[in-house]
Amino acid sequence: MFRHRSRGVFAPLALALSLAPLGTAPAAAQEREVVFHQVSVSSREATLRLEFNDGPELVISLQEGELRVGDRSVGQIEPGGALDASWRALLAEAIALDNGAVSRLLASWTAPEGLSGESAAAAELLQSELASTFAGPPPALSPRPALEGLLLRQDRLLGLAAALQGLSQEGLRIEVGESVVISSDEVVPGSLVIVDGSTQLEGRVRGDLILLGGSVTFGDDARVDGNVRWSDARIEGNRDAVRGEFMEVGTSAALRDTEANLRDELRREIEASLRPEIQALRNESRSRSPSVFRNVTRGVSGLFQTLLTFGILLGTGLGLLYFFPRNVDVVARTARHATGRSALVGFATFVLGVPVWILGMLVLVVSIIGIPVALLWIPAFPLAVVLAMVAGYLAVAQNLGRWASLRQFGPFQSADVSRPAMRLGIGLMVLLSGFAAAHLLQIFGGIFMPFRVILNAAAGVLGVLTVAVGLGAMILSRGGRDPAFAGPSWDNDFDDAPASWSQDVDTDPLDEEAL
């Protein structure tokens, strides 16, 4: 549809261009006082906002590559390109100036050379806008870049086609990308077409006035015998100068909306026509993958996650054993010999941790000296608690590993638990075995759901208890530095023959507590 309309556009446009040569007209100086200016420059935007003593505000913004003048988009600019850099440099200079100096600076801006395509057209418009806004004649511009810019903008051409419908070509005058002044003694014999330019109309237009982009200001003595057809344009001044009507012929935004609506409509139609097939395919897919496969997939995935967790915890634990073997040993012994006390301290920390953190923060903040410390306290305290929980958990896992081996549980009975790493590995297996079993049951289908829930709950409770005891042991032993609550050394235990371990377990009631 759009292709068809586009073809229709070029014929009257080409004819009009051939009939009416593009030209420039002398511009009169327009002194405007800037009463407010706002300059915003950041990596995302470079925006200028001006308010004048005699009229509406001017906003030129460059945001994420789109250059806008007021509400209308005048083109996409390559980020980091010559125009982007030039505009930013201009605003960076303007940011330190007063209103008057800003006016002079903006009026003297010229677009960088070597621009092409949409950037050239946008620069043309920008320069034209600034020149028409401030005093001084606009710089001489060759018509060719403006025309090229116009031809590259399909939306503007579409607007032009709509505006030129039924327009008489007799005496037609077209101005593209220029600041035009029709002085009071000047008469345009036919219609006047202004594309992306600003116009000061003091004289007479015998035909219609067509505005696409840009602006027109009607002087007191201005006169337009026909209608004003406009799109994306700003109209100011004496509106009584127009004998006919003001007719909006559709904005480029509206045209874009139409195009977008058509695309959406087409997409909806395609989706509607394909919906039965898609639904059939979905049903077929579901019938091919019964829930048993979903259960297998989820169960295997869960097992894999548990294995990954085991690996991460084991790696962390081995690291702790390598770098802090004595501390881990003291924490583990504290957890074993003061299990109840450790659990109480751990649960108390669960409850009081957050209030202590907040209170500490407040105390530090309200004292001036403490403010820098507060900056450290805010992230460091929760981080320290989490680290203590992990370290304590791993230390208690060692105890569990030793306990499982001494109880001669299945595969663990022949393990050499004199090695801390072995104890840690076995302990983690015990702690995570509940989750692993639950995932394993999931593979065999939904009928095991109750068992899975029980296993998950039991493993969760065991995990929480382990964390509580471990955290408490970490606190009681000051991170493994204070053996006040620790029992005899592991090494002493394991220096004995394996038989004595069993004896030790049988006679030492604290081992029961260690769980």
Partner 1 sequence: MRSTLALALSAVALAGTVSAGAAQSWSDMQIARAVQGEESLEVHVKYGAGRFNLRAVDAPHLYRMRMRFDEDSFEPLHEYRRGRLEVGVSGNQRWNSSLRLADSEAELELALSRGVPIDLRLELGAVVTEIDLGGLQLTALDMALGASESRIRVSQRNPLILSRASLKVGAASFTATELGNLNAREILVEAGVGEVKLDLEGLTLRESELHAKMGLGSLEVRIPSNVGIEVQRSTFLASVNAPGLSRRGNTFYSENWDSAEIRLRIRLESVLGSVTIIRP
Provide the binding-site residues for partner 1, judged by CB under 8 A: 33-45, 51, 53, 94-96, 98-99, 102, 361-362, 365-368, 371, 374-375, 378-379
Least separation in angstroms between CB 363 and partner 1:
11
Closer residue to partner 1, CB minimum distance, 318 or 378: 378
Least separation in angstroms between CB 352 and partner 1:
19
Least separation in angstroms between CB 198 and partner 1:
24
Closer residue to partner 1, CB minimum distance, 87 or 494: 87
Least separation in angstroms between CB 59 and partner 1:
13
Determine which helix (DSSP H) or strand (DSSP E) holds 347, and give its type and residue range.
Answer: helix 339-366
Residues 6 or more apart in contact with residue 11 via CB below 8 angstroms: none
d(CA 96, CA 352): 53
Least separation in angstroms between CB 238 and partner 1:
24
Beta bridge partner(s), residue 174:
193
Closer residue to partner 1, CB minimum distance, 46 or 163: 46
Least separation in angstroms between CB 356 and partner 1:
16
Dihedral over alpha carbons 6, 8, 9, 13 (to 10 degrees): 150
Going by C-alpha positions, the residue among 409, 455, 410 that lies closest to residue 432 is 455
Closer residue to partner 1, CB minimum distance, 94 or 224: 94
Determine which helix (DSSP H) or strand (DSSP E) holds 132, and give its type and residue range.
Answer: helix 117-133
Closer residue to partner 1, CB minimum distance, 61 or 418: 61
Structure tokens at 68: 């806008």
Phi, psi for residue 270 in degrees, rounded to 5: -65, -45
Which is it for the CA torsion 413, 415, 416, 417, positive or negative? negative
Least separation in angstroms between CB 133 and partner 1:
17
Least separation in angstroms between CB 181 and partner 1:
28
Instruction: Tell me if residue 171 falls in helix, strand or coil.
Output: coil
Q: Are 446 and 304 in contact (CB under 8 A)?
A: no
Least separation in angstroms between CB 123 and partner 1:
23
Query: Taking each helix axis from N to C terminus, what angle separates 143-151 and 117-133, rounded to the nearest 10 degrees?
Result: 120
Q: How many CB atoms lie within 10 A of CB 481?
A: 11
Strand 215-218, strand 234-237: pairing: parallel
Closer residue to partner 1, CB minimum distance, 41 or 120: 41
d(CA 428, CA 426): 5
Going by C-alpha positions, the residue among 125, 153, 119, 145 that lies closest to residue 13 is 153
Closer residue to partner 1, CB minimum distance, 365 or 458: 365
Q: Are 392 and 324 in contact (CB under 8 A)?
A: no
Instruction: Tell me if residue 236 falls in helix, strand or coil.
Output: strand
Structure tokens at 48: 């200028």
Closer residue to partner 1, CB minimum distance, 103 or 399: 103
Residues 6 or more apart in contact with residue 17 via CB below 8 angstroms: 147, 174
Least separation in angstroms between CB 377 and partner 1:
10
Rg (the chain; Cα; Å): 40
Closer residue to partner 1, CB minimum distance, 43 or 414: 43
Closer residue to partner 1, CB minimum distance, 97 or 152: 97
Q: Are 63 and 44 in contact (CB under 8 A)?
A: yes
Least separation in angstroms between CB 104 and partner 1:
14
> Which DSSP state fits 55?
S
Closer residue to partner 1, CB minimum distance, 375 or 461: 375
